[in-house]
Amino acid sequence: MFLTRFGEGARVVVTGDITQIDLPKERASGLKRAVDLLKGIKNIATIYLTQKDVVRHPLVRDIIRAYEKYESKKKDRQDRPV
* Each residue's pLDDT tens digit, 42-59: 999 999 888 788 788 889
56 to 23, 37, 64, 67: CA distances (angstroms): 27, 32, 11, 16
77 to 35, 41, 71: CA distances (angstroms): 23, 32, 10
Q: Which pTM was predicted? A: 0.56
Interval 11-44: pLDDT, tens:
888 888 887 888 888 888 888 899 999 999 999 9
Residue 27 identity: R
Residue 35 identity: V
